[in-house]
Chain A
Amino acid sequence: MARFLVRRCLWGVVLLVLVSAATFAIFYLLPSADPAVLRAGRGATPQTIAAVRHDLGLDRPVTAQYWHFLTQLVLHFDLGYSYTSGAPVSSLIADGLPATISLAAGAIVVWLLVGIPLGILSALRPRSWFDRLAMGGALVALSAPVYWLGLVVLYLFADDIGRWPLLPGAGSYVGLTRDPWHWLTALVLPWLVLASTFAAIYARVLRTSLIETMQEDYVRTARAKGISERRVVLRHGVRNALGPLVTLLGLDVGVLLGGAVLTEAVFGIPGIGRLNYTAITTSDLPVIQGTVLLAALFIVVANIVVDVAYALLDPRVRLDG
């Protein structure tokens, strides 16, 4: 296990370096607004633009810029300064990260709590009215864009503009440490919206996987041995059927960050998604680089966790290979 973790961590570092290099390359290869011109302002003289370009270090070769970025990051854990606000990127990320983690972690809990039971119950009663209702609902949830669903939920249930005011609406997010109860209530609607699509996917995947698993020989054997149906389902059926879901979960952490951008936008949550979006529209490379690296880090860590979890769920998988 230890060798596995060390190896995966090293590969993770390599991956992060590659991601940062790719981000740099994409930024310079694809057409975007010149950060120096943006910072200097429209109508700035060529001299001013040149001075700003020098100030931002953009007049150096791309390789030199990248090397500077890497050394600053590795040696000082310094992600540089935003081209536009002049704020340290690390502080911008630190400001937005709690909100995004709150949103993402809560959404994961919600979709697992909703998706897994729905998938199990549907698989155990295939083609029943419950199964048809659950899977039909899942299709609706899959088809509903997060952005649209968010607006609908706000117009129905937000306590300021909702038809039936139940919960805090857009712009009500506060930090967990500032007011835990307000934090919780303000995130219920965003969690439900962000989790809806994923819960639908997980319910459908688990249903399919569990139906197949329940037809395996070892399940029949377990029943023949007189084990209770509850134990057969949970211990032999669900445990094996969860494999694909665990793999999916690792991948979805990355997808989740993408979905979080829209959810943050609809609910006015000041997270990493909005920070990243704004940085892209203003060609703010240091912030883009920081947020992309953060997303990559999430995915790397999530995949390591998934691999470990996979081994724990399936004894046939060995990590020390």
Chain B
Amino acid sequence: MSSTDISPATLSSVGRPPQPSAFSNALVFGWRAMLKFKHVPEQLFDLIMTPLMFTLLFTFVFGGALAGSTGDYLQFFLPGILVQTVVFNSVYSGMGLSTDLSKGLFERFRSLPIWSLSPFAGLMVGDVLRHGIAGLIILGIGLVLGYRPEAGFPGVVLSFLLLFAIGFGTGWIFLVLGLLIRTPMTVMTIGFTFIFPLVFASNIMVRPETMPGWLQLFVNNNPVSHMTTALRGLMAGTASGADVALALLAPVLLTVLLAPVVLWLYRRN
């Protein structure tokens, strides 16, 4: 490859096209997130394996003991594992952000005349894709194993909308971490330190009735429990408006509180 072959002088000189809309910028970042699935299919494996193992282990190992039969337990557990999957997977946007920042890619984005928040919008698009793909696969496996959402197709659609809202809300935690921490692995470790107790001390795996009183107090007020209760209700067709509102409380609060923090951290430099 000789240097004489390089001839930027032959490049036509190109002027700026009309300013693209913020929405079309965000779509480009979404397209990038999809390309990542194509080039790094391993991340899909990460996404699916943990919830898959949880589903199979809890259903077949503990299910009979916890709920009398594996079928009954699956019916109880599957909505919860969907919540867990989405909450765990929102760590990926924080890790992706941290990687982009450490590689200097955001420097280029920030020097472009684009809507300054579109990279974040793109991360969110990527999240929705991830949550959608992972959720559908887990639900599919559940259906094969005998899970039946009583509310049928509309219940499933409403449940997924709630899942996206949950993912959107928890995503902000990891965006803040991603902006603060330059090593993706540390983002994951710190993120999971927060998330693990919330997920396990909830009503995802078992009903809280057998727990000690102080723990019941925590579990019953844990936002992850509210999310799980609402999702079970939506799948079964028994959710009240109050259930859903309670489930949305944490995502809404997180968005209101953390979105400005993310913006401030991003523009701080």
Is A bound to B?
no
- Footprint of A on B, CB under 8 Å? none
- Footprint of B on A, CB under 8 Å? none
